[in-house]
Copies of this chain bind each other. A is one copy, B any other.
Amino acid sequence: MNFKGMDILDGAQFTRAEIERVMEVSEEMRERLRESRSLNLLRGYVLGTLFFEPSTRTRLSFETAMHRLGGDVVGFASAGVSSVKKGESLEDSIRTVDQYVDVIVMRHPQIGAARRAAAVAESPVINGGDGAGQHPTQALLDLFTIRTERGQVDGNTIVLCGDLKYGRTVHAGVELYKHYDCRLILVSPDALRMPPELTARLREQGVVVEETDDLEAALPEATVLYMTRIQKERFADPEEYERLKGSYVLTREMVERLNPDLTIMHPLPRVGEIAADVDALPGAAYFRQARNGIYVRMALLWLVTGQSEA
């Protein structure tokens, strides 16, 4: 298993052994950060953060991860300041930055953009989200959170709730869950169901997948609830967004009544899917999940630059 030079493009690219390696290195990062606020593992390396679409959360998480590895960062936070508006192709933009930096993280509004970048860059490219496509580092940090909160991934019943049609974190996630002995319960309004080809593929691979539109019915059987935001920017019709956005709202009362041991996750930002009074519950893991992103991204940066083998 060799991560050096590997592009991180989607959840489907990994074997179970590779996923486990990322999990172990992430744990190692967490342990080492307990002793020191930053490590000297990537001193002298430069990360390029190319955010053609803004994402404060993902960008700051990667930039913090790079700094805590001892490395430096250059980049941009939105397409408005990039050469795109001068008419440059994505490939040329990437090939240029590839001359400067040692590893690239990229967010782009178009599906497949990260793969196009990886095809022309010599440096490893990490997909930080490509439109309604993939977001593999989010999926890995989600898995790391399940593992940390529940002890292991095998044996969990995971309720995925919200926008399962467009939600890229969910799409990337199921590509990882399929390697584990998990049961998935998909909860969504009918208009936002997971694409049938994805559900079919999961079942072929032996994953137990159930679908419902009733969150309360699903909760008692769950060990993990993964809530997602219904993303305004994915809707052509604002009225349809307004109609659907309130479909599922988790409250403290629901958790205490139906499943007090529940681990509650969310990729954030939330816009009301989880009531504020849930935050104080011991199972509310979404801010710890954000923290886990640092460890997992440190692990990935360290692995793909090949420094873990030095």
Contacts and interface: CB of A to CB of B under 8 A. Distances in A.
Given A99-B287, A102-B37, A67 B72 contact: yes
Interface residues of A, number: 57
Contacts of A74: 60, 63-64, 67, 73
A24 to B, nearest CB: 21
28 contacts: A37-B44, A37-B45, A37-B46, A38-B44, A38-B45, A46-B67, A54-B82, A56-B83, A60-B75, A60-B76, A60-B97, A63-B74, A64-B74, A73-B74, A77-B77, A86-B229, A86-B233, A87-B232, A87-B271, A88-B271, A92-B268, A93-B269, A96-B268, A96-B290, A98-B287, A99-B288, A99-B293, A100-B290
**Oligomeric state, in number of copies?**
3
B100 A76 contact: no
B99 A290 contact: yes
A95 interface: yes
Nearest to A85: B54
Contacts of A76: 56, 60, 77
